[in-house]
Amino acid sequence: MVSGGSIRNVATTWRDVRAPDDRLEEDLRTRLDEVEAALAAAVTSDLPLVSEAAGSLLAAGGKRFRPMLVLLGGRFGDPDDPRLVPAAVAIELTHLATLYHDDVIDEAQSRRGIASANARWDNTVAILTGDFLFARASEISSDLGTDVTRLLAHTIAEVCEGQIREVQIMGRVETEEAGYLDVIRRKTASLIGTSCRLGGLVSGASPEDVDRLERFGKALGVAFQLSDDIMDLTADRSVLGKEPGADLREGVYTLPVIHALAGASRRDELRAILATGPPTGERLEAAVEIVRSDGSLDRSRAAVAEAVRTALNEAAGLPTGPAADALVHLSGFIAARCGAEL
């Protein structure tokens, strides 16, 4: 599904993930190349600064996870439908737009190994670049029918609601698991669910399969985010592309941290570290060490496994074939990469 390596063995990074069917893998690569070219065209403006700012994050690469799910969803209808590529482009532009806005909110200095737009230029340029990408996504979706336009608009609103909810709970040691899960369902899982649904919708899949694809995607999205949360605390820079503990440093207390704050043996020690605000330096190292050592990661891995099992149950109801096998394969990878056992 992404070039390099084989997921028939245990893949360790997104670069290692491939569809289990070689013919499907080759087709996905070809279509993703088309998506990449269309993305480059979509971020181009007659104003050089807009083109440079909008193209900077695109040029830095990325997994193109959501476009891939659009294309896989399209395998349950007509995989040659010409609307699949622009649908995938609209989804990725929406995702990129949220990253520009996220970096302003988090005051991030880098993204995907390069200076973030807010650091390279300023917050105003970064915010307006995100708005530009939202507008481009909406423009593309308008050519795909009112159902697609309505779906994308609803999803953007839901993602924004999730971001606002995250801002509400950011840096609060009393954050509860239910509140955090609500954030990721809105902010992350909704867009991944829409990616799957959109592929089925524009390719003419049956209404039942379109609904099932969305449910699969939402469950996968929860697992995807929780897996990333665990990786942020356990993986090294070579895997993450950033220093471990970035979420903690930005005041985003993810599920492992919430578990550690709520019931772990060293919760009082962790609360004391976080009482003065998001940690840095030695305080950050100490906080990460506590979360790693007290069993909270295992509880979070169990939550990943539960979400993946939900996704697998939905995938089992889809028409059998290489596309369904690929969705199952991808679900297993998300569990395996963070050490969750199914």
pLDDT (0 to 100) of residue 5: 32
For residues 101 and 98, give the distance between their C-alpha atoms in angstroms, rounded to a whole number.
5
Q: Name residue 115's beta-bridge partners.
A: 110
Count of other CB atoms within 10 angstroms of residue 299 = 18
pLDDT (0 to 100) of residue 238: 52
pLDDT tier for residue 314 given thresholds of 50, 70 and 90? very high
pLDDT, average across residues 72-79: 96
Write out the DSSP string of 173-200.
TT--HHHHHHHHIIIIIHHHHHHHHHHH
pLDDT (0 to 100) of residue 62: 79
pLDDT tier for residue 118 given thresholds of 50, 70 and 90? confident
Sequence-ordered list of residues with C-beta below 8 angstroms from that of 326, at least 6 positions apart, any chain? 1, 19, 20, 21, 24, 72
pLDDT tier for residue 14 given thresholds of 50, 70 and 90? low
Query: Is 6 a domain residue?
Result: no
Higher pLDDT, 30 or 242: 30
pLDDT (0 to 100) of residue 8: 33
Write out the DSSP string of 291-322.
HHHSSHHHHHHHHHHHHHHHHHHHHHTSPPSH
State yes or no: pLDDT of 29 exceeds 70.
yes
pLDDT (0 to 100) of residue 16: 62
Question: Residue 203 maps to which CATH number?
Answer: 1.10.600.10
pLDDT tier for residue 335 given thresholds of 50, 70 and 90? very high
pLDDT (0 to 100) of residue 250: 85
Q: Are the beta carbons of 76 and 318 closer than 8 angstroms? A: yes
- The torsion angles phi and psi of 110, rounded to 5 degrees, stand at -150, 160
Query: Is 2 a domain residue?
Result: no
pLDDT (0 to 100) of residue 21: 81
pLDDT, average across residues 90-95: 96
pLDDT (0 to 100) of residue 196: 98
Sequence-ordered list of residues with C-beta below 8 angstroms from that of 59, at least 6 positions apart, any chain? none
pLDDT (0 to 100) of residue 121: 81
Strands (E), 38-132: 110-111, 114-115
Query: Is 133 a domain residue?
Result: yes
Q: Name residue 114's beta-bridge partners.
A: 111
Higher pLDDT, 312 or 58: 312
pLDDT (0 to 100) of residue 226: 96
Higher pLDDT, 62 or 133: 133
Query: Is 118 a domain residue?
Result: yes
pLDDT (0 to 100) of residue 12: 44
pLDDT, average across residues 274-299: 90
Which range in 117-131, 187-201, 224-238 is most confidently predicted, on average pLDDT?
Answer: 187-201
pLDDT, average across residues 78-104: 93
Query: Is 5 a domain residue?
Result: no
Distances in Å between the alpha carbon of 289 and those of 39, 124, 208? Answer: 40, 37, 46
Count of other CB atoms within 10 angstroms of residue 10 = 11
* Residue-range definition of the domain harbouring residue 291: 14-337
Query: Is 282 a domain residue?
Result: yes
Count of other CB atoms within 10 angstroms of residue 39 = 22
Strand (E) or helix (H) holding 124: helix 123-142
Arithmetic mean of pLDDT over the chain: 88
Give the count of domains, the chain: 1
Query: Is 178 a domain residue?
Result: yes
For residues 322 and 24, give the distance between their C-alpha atoms in angstroms, rounded to a whole number.
7
Sequence-ordered list of residues with C-beta below 8 angstroms from that of 13, at least 6 positions apart, any chain? 5, 239, 337
State yes or no: pLDDT of 3 exceeds 50.
no
Q: What percent of the chain has pLDDT over 70?
A: 92
Q: What is the DSSP letter of 46?
A: S
pLDDT (0 to 100) of residue 7: 33
State yes or no: pLDDT of 4 exceeds 50.
no
For the whole prediction, is pTM greater than 0.85? Answer: yes
Q: Name residue 111's beta-bridge partners.
A: 114
Q: Is the dihedral of CA 96, 236, 190, 122 positive or negative?
A: negative
pLDDT tier for residue 18 given thresholds of 50, 70 and 90? confident
- 322-337 helix and 65-73 helix, angle to the nearest 10 degrees: 150
State yes or no: pLDDT of 58 exceeds 90.
no
